[in-house]
Amino acid sequence: MPKRVLDCLKIARSLLAAVMVLLIGHAVGLRAQSKSRPKQGTQAAKVIAEQNGAFDNAVKLADDARTTGRFDDAIQHYNDAVRLRPQWSDGWWYLGAIYYQKELYLQARDAFSKLVAIEPKRGPAWAMLGLCQYQTRELESSITSLQRVYSLGLNSNKELETVVRYHSALLYVHFEQFEFAFEVLKDLPLTNNSPKVVDAFGLIMLRLPFLPQEVPVEIREKVRLAGQAGFNMAARRIDEARKAFNDLLARYPDDANVHYSFGVFMMHQDIDIALKEFYRALELDPKHQPAMVQIAFEHLKRRDYDTALPLAEKSVELMPKMYAARNVLGRVLLELGQTARAISELEIGVRLAPESPEMHFALARAYARAGRKQDAANENEIFKKLQEKYSQKPEASTNIEGPSSSANTAKPNPE
């Protein structure tokens, strides 16, 4: 082999040896570094284990404090737990329930707000949030929260359902939705005449938009007497209701709402007496819109459309957001052949009361009359579903005071 080639080979071997030395030294250095520095995965696992241990300890201390009635300690430990694990829904439930029991309604509201953000389909959480908002006088938010409960359910908690219905009725009264209030309240099994329930019926019968604590002293006796009439009416105790209404009319003959409520009571017994009472209410108060609606409906039934129309139109003018007024006006217009205008009124009524079977049924008839077969079929389908839904109403408890107080639940107050 030529000398020049041998020299090149020697140089190459020397370079390769040098590279190998460098590579081996680098590997040894890496191993030394790995031995001197803790592994990142091990450190993270240690932190997680410590956090889990702290959380488990906080939960144990909180549960022990709650079950032994040391609620201040329970609040402290549950707060520690949710700080470590903010998505722990049961922790927010216990915090809210304890705060509510201690009448710390702002803190309870905040806890239940966190809970419904985590579990938006948890009906009891919406119920408790609505009750907290009632106590903090966030009344619009309260009725919105409580309305969610009716679609989500309460997991067969009859006591909580009763409290929700009672407070929903009070809120409907406050917002002057007296018909809704009566429907909600009458669904309670009325086996005893609790003064609070009786007074709520009294506010409905007299159409007074007061919360219970706002009722003036001078009309409380009147509210109680009207409440007895309304309570017995809802409980279908006809004789007792008639006696209470007779007493009410004798003592307050010039109250338009007394005559109106008596007319509503008489509708299923003697419609002519009922109509007379509605006209008397309108005579005492020419702007008594509910009386106008009832009279318009009765004349619609009697096919006296020309008498019904001006009353229906006036009732919508006075209360454009009352869906019953839109219902009767739309139906009268349909019978008079004004189909397009009838559809317009009934569509507004459906938007105002999307859960009303009667509104969807009336709109279906109007669409059919206009030849809109698919729209009519859609409305009929909604009507059938709502009818089925309302035919499956669950029973409720009779205790309006709230769920039984225990270590695990709050006790909502009726006020």
Q: Tens digit of pLDDT per residue, the chain (415 long)?
A: 444 434 443 444 443 344 333 333 443 343 444 444 445 567 777 667 767 888 899 999 999 999 999 999 999 999 999 999 999 999 999 999 999 999 999 999 999 999 999 999 999 999 999 999 999 999 999 999 999 998 898 888 888 988 999 999 999 999 999 988 999 998 776 665 689 999 999 999 999 999 999 999 999 999 999 999 999 999 999 999 999 999 999 999 999 999 999 999 999 999 999 999 999 999 999 999 999 999 999 999 999 999 999 999 999 999 999 999 999 999 999 999 999 999 999 999 999 999 899 999 999 999 999 999 999 999 999 999 998 877 765 444 444 444 433 334 444 443 3
- As a whole number, the mean pLDDT across the chain is 85
**Burial group, residue 148, by CB count within 10 angstroms (0-12, 13-18, 19+):** middle
Per residue in 331-351, pLDDT tens?
A: 999 999 999 999 999 999 999
| Token pair recorded at residue 224 | 């109680």
Per residue in 181-237, pLDDT tens?
A: 999 998 776 665 689 999 999 999 999 999 999 999 999 999 999 999 999 999 999
Half-sphere exposure of 208 (CA within 13 A, CB side): 23
**Burial group, residue 9, by CB count within 10 angstroms (0-12, 13-18, 19+):** exposed
Q: Quote the strand ranges of 1-91, DSSP E.
A: none
| Token pair recorded at residue 145 | 């929260």
